[in-house]
Chains A and B, each alone.
Chain A
Amino acid sequence: MTFFHSWLWKMAWRDSRAHLKRLFLFVASIILGVAAMVAIGGFGDNLESAINDQAKTLLGADLAFRSQSPFPEKIEALADSIGGEQAREIDFSSMAFFPAQNATRLVRIRTLEGRFPFYGKLESQPAGADGFLRQHSGGALVDQNLMLQYGLALGDTVRLGSAAFEIKGELKKIPGQAEAGSAIAPTIYIAARDLGNTGLIRFGSRAVYRLYFRLAESQDPEKIREELDPQLRAERIRASTVESQKESLGQAMGNLYRFLNLVAFIALLLGGIGVGSAIHVYIKQKLNTIAVLRCVGATIRQTFLIYLIQTFAMGVAGALAGIALGLMIQQFIPAVVGDFLVVDLEMFISPAAVLQGAGMGLVLTLLFALLPLLGIRRVSPLLAIRASFAENSDRDPLRLGVIGLIAAAVVAFAILQTQSVAVGLGFALGLAGALALLTGAANLLMWGVKRFFPGRLGYLFRQSLANLYRPNNQTLVLMLSLGLGTFLIATLYVAQEGLLNQVALTGSGNQPNLILFDIQTDQNTAVREMVEEHQMPVLQNVPIVTARLSRIKDRSVTEMLADSSQSPGRWALNREFRLTYRDTLIETEKLVAGTWVPEVAADQDTIPVSIEDGLAEDLGIAVGDFLEIDVQGVAMPARIASIRDVDWQRVQTNFLIVFPRGVLEYAPQFMVVVTRAPSREVSATLQRDLVQRFPNVAAVDLALILRTVEGILDRISAVIRFMAFFSILTGLVVLASAVITSRYQRVQESVLLRTLGATKSQIRIIMLLEYVYLGSLAAATGVLLSLASGWALAAWVFNIAYHPPLVAVGAFTGGVILLTTVLGMLNSRGIATRPPLEILRSEA
């Protein structure tokens, strides 16, 4: 008989119909996993198609140039030669002052000119408010969150530098910008022609300059970009097209998508383990039926197929239910992650995601179920006449084969989910490690309890402890499912707490919390005085000079930039450095190589500079190497005199490159003042007074940033929690199914104990204690693992000091124990109270 023989299906149905509910619970653990896969996969496809459809509106143009300084003549000429329609934008940070509210805030100012965006539009209230800015002077469009935060209304005034603007519209959505981004630096749009009035952009000001092109149909933007790339690179100008924008967007969104994908996969895996363990117990209860079938002439293959068919059918049912649930959940994902999206999602059902989710669910169900199903082949018909017949305990080579298949499937799926061989393999290895540790802990527990059995304890304690290692125990299954679930969820929590703590520490104690920058040299004394008048200390007062690297050792940076093989230090080649000069090391710095040179003569040929060790490593340079530093057009030859280790965690003005005194004193520069405001109010007063007297000075309020970052992290953790919810729920279903499958064994025992005279409360206590032991150990192992992985994340990924959230983790552990016990007891209800005979008959 083959798999499709009608009698086998009939027999599978007859044998399973009495406990369909129980079987469905087995696959319930797979439903959530499939649902998560379908939902996330579908969301990913929706996202990809949205990016494809909206890429043009994200860039707003066919081609865009971006530079950190005004475009040089050469590039202007080049731009003219390209033709098409052009528009410019200047984008920089500055302080905004709202006179009616008497409040100030660091904002991102962008200028509007020409018909940009050529594709898509700025969404505002009233609609089309940007039209006013294009035609009239003195208007501004203000980010809606900012309006809300300061209680601003249309018609209110906002002062930017030395000019006042009337708020003409509330910005709802800017193409290409995620909503979460606007929280850090909310945007204000003004007309380009009004920029001069503000007096905010001077020589050396930090700003981003963009030039947008709308090309003729016949022009291929990608081709133009490729042709111009070498010339643009030489001037440190980056060109983007719809294609390149799509690519980088896809990458950014891809990370989010991959993360969600992995979490969904974990839920599916947990479900697989749940199915495997449930089928294991199920088959154990079916041994007698299998033996009888064999006695009356069924072959090994036939009995095996009967139960394979049951599993398969349940897997299909689970996958179908998972698809339905997944499609529903897919509708909610945009609401959860919406803040991080730059595109408008249009939801549709993705057949590929449905097939992949359901297919993976079914394959994992079958593979995990195959392990216990294989045991059917070894059931002897003798079992029908001899209940105590010992099972064949030889190793089954097919079992090893199935374990290999499961491992291969997990690796393959992990690679498929992350679209990266390295990440997929790493994930699978990490998971294997966690499973091995949990299995080890479970075995150690069983061995330990048996070996050091506390024989003096009361009967109830002994009986419940013995349940942990007696035949048919549920120790391993519960340890794996509960432990893994706890581990994953607690890791997410520990990592998130670690990050938040880091941010909170930065803003506490006597750390500086207000940084004033862009102070002109001639304003420095007055600004210092103003800070001190507000009873605040000047913790640091540092000059800052902007510069670029132009030669490293014997190669020009232009040449190095053109060489695409130069990768680790690429960030440093393109960037504008803010450097300083001083004669001493500060407390956040430690000399790791060379000698510190405090001061040199102004006419020194080669200047001895100090660089940060990370920069030295990325650029592959050491003490004694030659550098040429371009300080706003003046090439300065320099030699690396020392290398410093810098603690970037502290709120200080820290620098990659430090000059000795004596060279840069007359270079164009601005000053920074670092101070500490005792309260929010004092900080606000100082900022207000500053902006009125020195509109060009910008203030970074760390307390405000802290609150904003907390807000963003909260939103990120909402996404994480949404996904972790799948794991938790799957863990619960797995737990419930493990508890329910163990019910049968517990029933027999309890009935026997009650027949022998045990009271209801004694039986309840035995069950309660067993679940408390199991819950405690699984939760403790999972939580310990998560603390270890949290430490690893802190040390190697986030590079932050690790402060384990012990109280929260303790509460979490308690929660898992409580949940396990409650679920266990809920499921066992009735066993202790119903008459023994009634239970035996109904559960037989």
Chain B
Amino acid sequence: MNDPQPMLSVSGLSKTYRSGERDLTVLHDVTFDIAEGSTAAIVGPSGSGKTTLLGLCAGLDLPSSGTVRLDGADLGRLSEDERALVRNRLVGFVFQSFQLIPTLTALENVMVPAELQGRSDVRNRARDLLETVGLGERMGHYPVQLSGGEQQRVALARAFINSPKILFADEPTGNLDADTGASISDLIFELNREAGTTLVLVTHDQVLAAQTQRILRMRGGQIVQDVYSESSLNR
């Protein structure tokens, strides 16, 4: 198999936390690449290190050892502000608990990442994105006035506002009922296809994971299985 240039390259990644008197290793020597434009799911039981891995891949935290390269940039060599810039330009996030800023309207929540770049012409693009996710009528609403599914749609619109190269989604349907969850996952894959974004999902949901091209299965802080789905092998 001849992979294109990897979007995300993880090599020998370990993370150890100090817990009281002893060290707790939550990630142990993890190595993998994610190709640009591909989709992957990280699955595994609770406490297997999925979320820690996601945080390190997105530059939210620094590893104890090993490297993470995002679009060729070694995150470990960047300062916190430089990592913030990488997150802003290259990365989109979708969280399990939506994580909208409660004091901002739906539209303002979507605009924030673009405004951080100093752009002022973002309102129309944010409106378009909200229309796309089906919230054209609810742009002025605050998060508490929206249902869980609606909040996650706003979060999706926010994730795509800066046309990120990679989207990290942490249990995006975990807080939603089956029907709403299905419609959100459809939306994620649809937006992803349209924008050609690389997608990394952390999930318990086997159905959702099965929709990706590749499944990385974790246990005890290590990748114990790395499976490419048929659709991706056939591609």
Residues of A within 8 A of B (CB): 1, 7, 10-11, 14-19, 288-289, 291-302, 380-382, 384-387, 841-842, 844
Contact = CB atoms under 8 A, between A and B. Distances in A.
Contact of A297 (B61, B87, B108, B142): B87
B84 A382 contact: no
B116 interface: yes
Given A380-B60, A385-B54, A844-B144, A296 B104 contact: no
Contact of B99 (A288, A841, A842): A288
B88 A297 contact: yes
Contact of B84 (A17, A18, A299, A384): A299
A298 B84 CA distance: 6
B51 interface: yes
A14 B81 contact: no
B227 interface: no
Interface residues of B, number: 37
B170 interface: yes
B84 A14 contact: no
B140 interface: no
A296 B116 contact: yes
Nearest to A381: B60
Contact of A382 (B60, B108, B118, B158): B60
A289 B61 contact: no
B99 A384 contact: yes
Interface in B80-119: 80-81, 84-85, 87-89, 91, 93, 95-97, 99-104, 108, 112-113, 115-118
B99 A298 contact: no
Nearest to B143: A844
Nearest to B61: A382
A770 B72 CA distance: 56
A23 to B, nearest CB: 11
Interface string B54-67: 11001011000000
A380 B84 CA distance: 11
- With most chain B CB atoms within 10 A of its CB, the pick from A15, A298, A387, A844 is A298
Nearest to B81: A299
Contacts of B108: 14
A286 to B, nearest CB: 9
Nearest to B112: A296
A292 B144 contact: no
Contacts of A11: 112, 115
A260 to B, nearest CB: 42
Given A288-B99, A302-B116, A381-B60, A386 B51 contact: yes
Nearest to A377: B80
B93 A296 contact: yes
B87 A385 contact: no
Contact of A294 (B84, B95, B144, B170): B84
B99 A14 contact: no
A294 B115 CA distance: 13
9 contacts: A7-B115, A15-B103, A293-B101, A293-B112, A296-B93, A299-B84, A382-B60, A385-B55, A386-B55
Contacts of B101: 15, 289, 292-293
Closest 6 CB pairs of A and B: A297-B88, A296-B113, A381-B60, A18-B103, A299-B81, A297-B87
Contacts of B54: 385
A10 B113 CA distance: 14
A297 B60 contact: no
Nearest to B17: A390
B61 A295 contact: no
Nearest to A16: B103
Contacts of B96: 385
B118 A7 contact: yes
Nearest to B145: A841
Given A292-B100, A296-B93, A381-B60, 10 more contacts: A11-B112, A18-B103, A292-B99, A297-B84, A299-B85, A380-B61, A384-B60, A385-B51, A387-B97, A841-B144
A348 to B, nearest CB: 44
Interface in B113-138: 113, 115-118
Most buried by B among A294, A384, A385: A385
A16 B102 CA distance: 11
